[in-house]
Amino acid sequence: MTPEQARHAIEESLVQVAPDADLGSLGPDADLRDSLELDSLDFLNFIEALSERAGRRIEEDDYPHLATMASAIKFLADR
């Protein structure tokens, strides 16, 4: 997956769980959960949606790699 494809998958997954989120103002190193006010269930729904779009299971041990947009893009593009 290219970084552009990863960004697209992440943004689509975030919009699915937080439809009113302003992703355009989200900095690359901003904490996704804090910036978008995602609670634990929202974050799990984001992970599930992202797993489906990425075509691979994302394990709980991988969650820290999905803390920011930049780290999430790197995580998906490196796999």
CATH number for the domain that contains residue 54 = 1.10.1200.10
Residues sharing a CB contact under 8 Å with residue 50, sequence separation 6 or more, in sequence order: 9, 10, 13, 58, 66, 72, 76
Range of the domain at 43: 3-78
Q: Is 53 a residue whose pLDDT tops 90?
A: yes
- Look at the chain and report how many structural domains it folds into: 1
Q: Is 52 a residue whose pLDDT tops 90?
A: yes
**Element containing residue 15 per DSSP (H, E):** helix 3-17
Residue-wise pLDDT tens digits, 1-46: 899 999 999 999 999 999 998 888 889 999 999 999 999 999 999 9
